[in-house]
Structure 1
Amino acid sequence: MSDQPRAVILVSGGLDSTTVLAMARQQGYACYTLSFDYGQRSRAELLAAERVSAALGDVEHKVVKLNLDSIGGSALTDHSIAVPEEATEGIPVTYVPARNTVFLSIALGWAEVLGAQDIFIGVNAVDYSGYPDCRPAYIAAFEAMANLATRAGVEGEKLTIHAPLMDLGKDQIIRAGTELGVDYALTVSCYQATEDGLACGRCDSCRLRREGFADAGVTDPTRYAGAS
């Protein structure tokens, strides 16, 4: 283990971040997984994050408590805003203001503590639902900032933000994960999953996930609420 480079992997418990964790492991990184209890609507994803981290052999799994629900502004953190169940134009109400910036900043801090020069995140510019913090320009800008704002960066230990899913469709992501042995039954992607992880089957995240499995020709292991 001591010979492996360390990496911090942002893990939400969903399909994309789980695939990224499998990719980082396959590339030889010692993986330190990081999740956030940020006041999100679906608590089931935190349990899923713990499951996938253990299943894929993390070194340590850390959950950081935040209260993004105290500022609201998103259907995922404010129960008075309904989760949309039809496609919408523009940036959807499921966008959580500054979420990836907050998450990456904390991941950056932990990476410095660990002596890790690599951070992995599962953002995707193809099936990204219009979120502005899932674009290549954003990742490049954050990486530049990270190398300006940290002791590691100033001392020449270049920090890299990896977003290996950036240009992949959901079907390509599922095929890649399947080849790496990912058990997607452990994951939860639904914006409004029940406490025991049953997916609604109607939200945008469920739609993208369902279509991805169909396009990949892979059996969808998702447990849907109301399914017989």
Structure 2
Amino acid sequence: MMDKTRRAVILLSGGLDSATVLAIARSSGFACHALSFDYGQRHSAELDAAARVAARQGAVEHRVFKLDLAMFGGSALTDSRIAVPEQASTGIPVTYVPARNTIMLSIALAWAEVLESRDIFIGVNAVDYSGYPDCRPEYIASFETMANLATKAGVEGKQLHVHTPLMQLGKAQIIRLGTELGVDYNATVSCYQADAAGRACGVCDSCRLRRQGFIEAGVADATRYVASPE
């Protein structure tokens, strides 16, 4: 049963991971307030997907926060002059958006305080994490420490927790878990360069991880592609 006194802010991108996190939070009894970001990313298909996921999974509300990280660029996701890589790479990829999780978690923290919530959920993952530094356990632990030092709620002893239920799971494990929780992955969009209809490119890092995850999970992948992936 959902307990409306146990509010949680869920960072919801519209992708596979965040949809699973929303399902986990709901199954844990939280009243889920979903938060997405229109941050100047390459496409809006993921925001359409986030709205679908929030509605289908019974979020109490879904808000989209607009900010323009494209003003700075520096990432293939926010600067059209930088191509999204279509081959596997090593190190921190050009799809890393500088400080993105720090910015988004900070805004989620502000909303959580207003909601008198002590819980934020985010779908970061240290296994299939594409090399992003702000998806690591030590980063999340440091942010949580900062949050409890920097907020009225934290100073007054109302400790806030940043939940990362997918942190140690591989993509196949995430898909199996989400399937058990009834997540409709057809509603999600993971591709870095999806078209206006939400069809995936099939060749970016996110598409490769997603496709391999479905194969390893033994779950049918109904992802719509611009062209059939090899």
TM-score for both structures, normalised by structure 2? 0.97
- Cα 1:152–1:124 change in 2 (3 A) is same
Letter in 1 for 2:217: A
Task: Give, in angstroms, the shift of residue 16 of structure 1.
Answer: 0.2
Contact 1:6 1:116 in 2 (8 A): yes
Give, as a single letter, the amino acid of the residue that structure 2 aligns with 1:179.
Answer: E
Match for 1:174: what amino acid? Answer: I
In structure 2, what is the equivalent of residue 182 of structure 1? 183
Q: How far 1:58 sits from its partner (Å)?
A: 0.5
Corresponding position of 1:55: 56
1:2-81 matches, within 5 Å, as 3-81=4-82
CA distance in 2, matches of 1:64, 1:183: 24
Code of the residue aligned with 1:89 in structure 2: it is: T
The SS at the match of 1:42 is coil
Partner deviation per Cα, 1:94-148 (whole Å, 9 max, x = no partner): 0000000000000000000000000000000000000000000000000000000
Query: 1:206 & 1:95 partners in 2: Cα distance?
Result: 15
Structure 1 segments, 4+ long, off by >6 Å, are none
**Runs of 5+ unmatched residues, structure 2:** none
Normalised by the length of structure 1, the TM-score is: 0.98
Distance of 1:125 and 1:143 partners within structure 2: 17
* 1:42 Cα deviation after fit: 2.0
Structure 2: distance between partners of 1:112 and 1:90: 36
Distance 1:222 1:3, change over 3 A: closer
CA apart distance, 1:89:
1.4
Alignment match, 2:141: 140
The Cα RMSD (Å) is 1.1
Counterpart CA distance in 1 for 2:228 and 2:140 is 38
Aligned positions, number: 228
Task: For 1:174 and 1:3, locate their aligned partners in 2 and report how far apart those are by CA, in whole Å.
Answer: 27
Mapped to 2, the partners of 1:91 and 1:78 lie a distance apart of 17
| 2:34 alignment partner, SS class | strand
Amino acid at match of 1:171: A
